[in-house]
Chain A
Amino acid sequence: MIIAFTVVLGVLAWVTIRGQEAWPFSAYPMFSGRTAINKVRVVRIALETDTGARVWWRSAFYRYPEAVGLSLKKLYAPASTTSTTPLVSAQQQKIYAEVVRLLRQEEGDRHRYRALLVISRTVEPTEERASGEQALVIQEEVLARLPLSHDHS
């Protein structure tokens, strides 16, 4: 019992001190980095419907759009937009194929969407008011528009 007690405590202490992951033991490093709103940039997928309206891709499993967005953010990093290599292009196509697959799996008929939009979102702070509130303005930029083919297979 004493050995087991010591081992469990020891592993908990080890992952905490070393900051390492050893599932199911974790250091829980989430949100530990220092950042600011002028560094925040989110890449999000939107869908253009057949009527031309734009709706955000919202999966039943909301982490999917976030994970896809994180992957696309690396591929659409400012340094890479000026020279898109074939490898980057292939990676982007793979991600888009996964989005379409998930859409088809969750929503069935995807024919009501005619394009997939990759949108970069950032925030601009304005001056802080006397009340202590700080108005934030969202800025969006369409990085890519990918027409969706109506595949009846």
Chain B
Amino acid sequence: MITVNLFLSGHYNGVRLFLLLFCLATALQFTLHAREQLHFWRTMPRRVYGNPPRLLGRVQLPALTEGQFLLAGGLFVTGLLGATVGILPQFFLLVALIAYFFYFNPIMPLAYIQRKTNLIPIVLLILLLSPGLSQPLTQPTPIWPLWLVKAALAQIYLSAGVQKLRRSGWQWGDGYSLQAYLVEHYLWGDTPAAWWLAQRLWLCRWISRLTLLFEVSFVLILVFPALTPLYVAGGLLFHLATGLTMRIHYLIYLGPVYLVFVPEVLARVPPWSYR
């Protein structure tokens, strides 16, 4: 009888597992949206939005020709897929990381890209520096890379909450601000869910308070892993709700980052045995 227990914490290569999941999922999302992203590039967004953001707030990346833009996209997805093969993963991760900046920079104003792809290069950088990328899944590896990815994810929510408290204080939770943002989005885009919710101030109030609480406390999963399922569910629900009411679609390119929790979930699966 062979007893196989792959997924107990410390007994498997969670980093390589996450690399496989993240790179494949991101490559899939990219492929599904590549045509739309090219169409957006062709509308010359710079003419409406001005210059794209500077790298690290300092370096203005050069404008690309269409051929260069397509090449950057090709290198990005090639890097992602190449990293999953297990041969020279650091090289392919570096290719994907560099290509990311050139490809996504000019199309940053696209609704599901602006800020929603921010974690892609951060995760690629963390993976690039991680041990065990080529090791088998049964080979134990340190878990700090996964912890750091979770910290990057937690920073999104923590910072969003901190900025609300900084600008508005706890009064942000009184519901009036959320109501106004919902109304604004309805006036722009006729989203019925936003209009329905905006007419229920008491509900806006509760959602505002829960949102603030969720955002400032998400970081607790880093020290209390038992809270992870609650906050992951909360995060997914949060993004589904903003997608429905405000057409803010974070999960297209942030969803693959949430796969960082899969190794942890699998670690709780009871060991199985083969005869």
Q: Which of the candidate stretches B10-18, B85-93, B108-116, B231-239 sits at the interface with the other chain? A: B108-116
A32 near B155 with CB under 8 A, answer: no
- Chain A residues near B110 (CB, 8 Å)? 61, 63
Output the nearest chain B residue to A1 by Cβ-Cβ distance: B129
Measured between beta carbons, the chain A residues less than 8 angstroms from B200 are: 132-134
A16-B162, A44-B188, A134-B200 known; A9 and B181 CB under 8 Å? no
A93 located at the interface, meaning its Cβ lies under 8 Å from any Cβ of chain B in the complex: no
| Residues on B with beta carbons closer than 8 Å to the beta carbon of A40 | 180, 183-184, 187
Majority secondary structure, A binding face: mixed
- Complex Cα distance, B163 from A139, in Å, reads 32
Residues of A near B117 (CB, < 8 A) are 24
Query: Of residues 2 to 26 in A, which have CB atoms within 8 Å of B's CB atoms?
Result: 4-5, 8-9, 12-13, 15-17, 19-26
Contact B172 A24 (CB under 8 A): no
Main secondary structure of the interface of B (DSSP, over half): helix
B167 within 8 A of A: yes
Q: Say yes or no for B57: interface residue by CB 8 A criterion.
A: yes
A25 touches B180 (CB 8 A): no
Q: How far is the CA of A16 from the CA of B129 in the complex (A)?
A: 23
Interface size class of A (residues with CB under 8 A): 35 or more
Judging by beta carbons under 8 Å apart, are A133 and B199 in contact? yes
Total B residues in contact with A, Cβ cutoff 8 Å = 67
Q: A32 contacts B160, CB within 8 Å?
A: yes
Q: Is residue B159 contacting chain A, with contact meaning CB distance below 8 A?
A: yes
- Give chain B residues whose Cβ lies under 8 Å from the Cβ of A1: 129, 131, 144
Residues on B with C-beta less than 8 A from A64 are 43, 48
The CA-CA distance from A35 to B179 in the complex, in Å, is: 9
Is A102 in contact with B43, judged by CB distance below 8 angstroms? yes
Chain B residue with Cβ nearest A120:
B187
Chain A residues with CB under 8 A of B203? 132
Q: Mark A126-137, 1 if CB is under 8 A from B, else 0.
A: 001000111110
Indicate whether B27 reaches chain A with its CB closer than 8 angstroms: no
Residue from the list B56, B115, B166, B168 in contact with A22, Cβ < 8 A: B56
Q: Indicate if the CB atoms of B118 and A24 lie closer than 8 Å.
A: yes
Please tell me if the beta carbons of B187 and A121 are within 8 angstroms of each other in the complex.
yes
- Partner of A28 from B49, B56, B163, B169 at Cβ < 8 Å: B163
Residue of B whose beta carbon sits closest to that of A68: B48
| B74 interface hit (Cβ, 8 Å) | no
Contact in complex: B202, A32 (CB < 8 Å)? no
Q: Is B39 an interface residue (CB 8 A)?
A: yes
Q: Is the CB of A66 within 8 A of B188?
A: yes
CA distance A27 to B144 in the complex (A): 23
- CB within 8 A of B54: which of A23, A67, A134? A23
Q: Most chain-A Cβ atoms within 10 A of its Cβ — which of B55, B117, B162? A: B162
**Distance, CA A66 to CA B246, complexed state (A):** 12
Interface set, chain A 27-81, CB cutoff 8 A to B = 27-37, 39-40, 42, 44, 56, 60-69
- B207 CB within 8 Å of chain A: no
Question: What are the residues of chain A within 8 A of B42 when measuring CB–CB?
Answer: 105
Alpha-carbon distance A42/B181, docked complex (angstroms): 11
Residues of B with C-beta under 8 A to A123: 183, 187
Q: Is A138 an interface residue (CB 8 A)?
A: yes
The reply to whether A23 and B184 contact each other, CB–CB distance below 8 Å, is: no
Q: How far is the CA of A102 from the CA of B43 in the complex (A)?
A: 7
Q: Are B172 and A37 in contact (CB under 8 A)?
A: no
Chain A, Cβ-Cβ closest to B59: A23
25 contacts between A and B (CB under 8 A): A1-B131, A8-B122, A9-B148, A9-B151, A12-B151, A17-B162, A19-B162, A22-B56, A23-B56, A24-B121, A26-B159, A28-B159, A28-B160, A32-B163, A34-B168, A34-B177, A35-B181, A62-B188, A64-B48, A98-B47, A121-B187, A132-B203, A133-B200, A135-B199, A136-B195
Lowest 6 CB-CB distances: which A-B pairs, in order? A42-B187, A34-B168, A22-B57, A32-B163, A16-B159, A23-B53
